[in-house]
Amino acid sequence: GAVVSQHPSWVICKSGTSVKIECRSLDFQATTMFWYRQFPKQSLMLMATSNEGSKATYEQGVEKDKFLINHASLTLSTLTVTSAHPEDSSFYICSAQRRLAGGNEQFFGPGTRLTVL
């Protein structure tokens, strides 16, 4: 199947700093990428839908100025957590959608564990 990578796989940062997470589709073009966040012992929460070349669509309750998403190319989307605080510590996972004639396929990245001290 298609491969989606995330970088970094884990990051520790100080409170107040910004962290950028990259999501790449390695062998296909993804017109749409999704960003999810997982809270401890809870399910994945969809944060935003990112379409190449346009502004991301954020889910209700997700601060767009806090979580900046850029989908600059068909193979790369970035999530920047600005002025990170300890409550932003979480597991962030992206998925990339590949459009096919019979429908869309979605592939998940391995996730990025963010710890804010």
Partner 1 sequence: GEDVEQSLFLSVREGDSSVINCTYTDSSSTYLYWYKQEPGAGLQLLTYIFSNMDMKQDQRLTVLLNKKDKHLSLRIADTQTGDSAIYFCAEDGGYQKVTFGIGTKLQVIP
SS3 state of residue 30: coil
- Minimum distance, C-beta of residue 41 to partner 1, in the bound complex (Å): 7
Residue 18: CB atoms within 10 Å? 11
Query: Which residue among 36, 75, 79, 98 contacts partner 1 (CB under 8 A)?
Result: 36
**CA-to-CA separations, 69 to 17, 56, 80, 101, in angstroms, rounded:** 17, 6, 6, 28
Taking contact as CB under 8 A, which single stretch among the options 16-24, 67-75, 78-86, 107-115 is the one that binds partner 1?
Answer: 107-115
Asked if residue 12 binds partner 1 (CB under 8 A), the reply is no
CA distance 106 to 66: 26
Query: Which residue among 93, 96, 98, 116 contacts partner 1 (CB under 8 A)?
Result: 93
Query: Which residue among 11, 20, 22, 91 contacts partner 1 (CB under 8 A)?
Result: 91
